[in-house]
Amino acid sequence: MGVTREQLNDSSNTSSINDKPVTNHLSAREFTPRSSVEQWINQQLAKAGIAVNGPNPWDPQVHNTALWNRVLRQGSLGLGDAYVDGWWDCEQLDEFISRAISAQLDEKITGRWMMFRHWLAATFMNRQSEKRAYQVGEQHYDAGNDLYQAMLDPTMSYSCGYWHQAEDLHQAQLNKLRLICEKAQLQQGESVLEIGCGWGSFAELAATEYGVNVTGITISKEQKKLADERCKGLPVDIALQDYRTLKGQYDKLVSIGMFEHVGPKNYRTYMRAAHGLMKDEGIFVLHTIGKARASLGTDPWIDKYIFPNGVIPTLTQISDAVEPYFVIEDVHNFGPDYDTTLMAWHDNFVAAWPELKAQYSERFYRMWVYYLRVCAGAFRSRSLQLYQVVLRKQSGRLPRYQSLR
């Protein structure tokens, strides 16, 4: 199932993310490539304008020369584990990752067996089956509401903000929520289904500002608990439920940052379920991360520690799944805004650490910083996108849809 919060917070239990103890520490002055592996990796990094122990803030500072063999053997999993272990540091880790991806170093230094194993799992297993659907909730979203309340803005939105005419994270998240409401053309009294409701940010705003009745589902007990508290007294019902078990029909559908957990084997199942749950004249707004090129599986480090069983779809995969059920009325890509959002979350997390560290270990701190900054770098490189897709059922009776920005 991955690594639990308890394992990450137990500084004495490092076997799950350690191969070796931290040894062979070097200062920057002492570092010189000592093997053909180190020399080759240094040559690849130089193509991205990265110098090991160099003067730039995006240059990695290496404390353990065993890093290179670990990276060559395990790819991104080894790189991330080594960072958590303290084998290397980088002031601007996000920029390091952005440069490395832009230079396609992630494809050259892959840890091929690790990627092959993920390919096998994605090909022959349904890692996002109904039975496994609650794993990401237990591992990631249940990590602690105190953590997310400190990191996120007051709406508790855990997805990309819309930074058009926004000066801070809170305004960006309000912009995003209201944009979705406007794209869905919400009308007072309508019934709205939110597939993946998080801590209730959309449900609370849509019910309060647009007067709709919201049914939200989540696979996280902690999210449901806080969402129930936030939406108390509003026409909102939050259920701990998988999308495949839903029944009924709704005027409008919304899904924000949940499709990344569906998986390629279930894309058609998801769209078929959404089609059956929405009235013929309805609108479905899908907000999801997307990637530039299709590949089975996901990043091994992110899969192990952050989002187990997650897979980022391409626009083609979304389109193929949609085709039998919906017309695509609009596609809006504001992926660069996720870079800004992630860095704002990072800054909030770091600022809150003095209060959080009584409940979380230093290893958790390094893991969380790595997660946020690596993801920011991936969006900065434009290898990841953020799509808002507006869908309607295939019908010639519907009036023209006017896109919003």
Q: What are phi and psi of 116, to 5 degrees?
A: -65, -40
Q: What's the N-to-C CA distance of the chain in angstroms? A: 39
Q: Are 88 and 117 in contact (CB under 8 A)?
A: no
Cβ–Cβ < 8 Å for 318, 387: yes
At residue 11, the 3 state secondary structure works out as coil
CB count within 10 Å of CB 168 equals 11
Instruction: State how far the alpha carbon of 198 is from the alpha carbons of 119, 137, 239, in Å.
Output: 29, 10, 11
SS3 2: coil
CA of residue 134 relative to chain centroid, distance:
16
Which two three-digit tokens encode residue 176? 């995003």
Q: Which of 331, 289, 327, 326 is nearest to 310 (CA)?
A: 289
Angle subtended by helix axes 336-356 and 362-380, to nearest 10: 170
Catalytic residue among 90, 160, 231, 375: 375
Q: What CA–CA distance (Å, rounded) separates 113 from 111?
A: 6
Rg of the chain in Å (alpha carbons)? 22
Whether 372 and 169 have beta carbons less than 8 Å apart is answered as no
Residue 90 appears among annotated catalytic residues: no
Q: Which two tokens stand for residue 117?
A: 């194993």
- Catalytic residues, by residue number, are 375
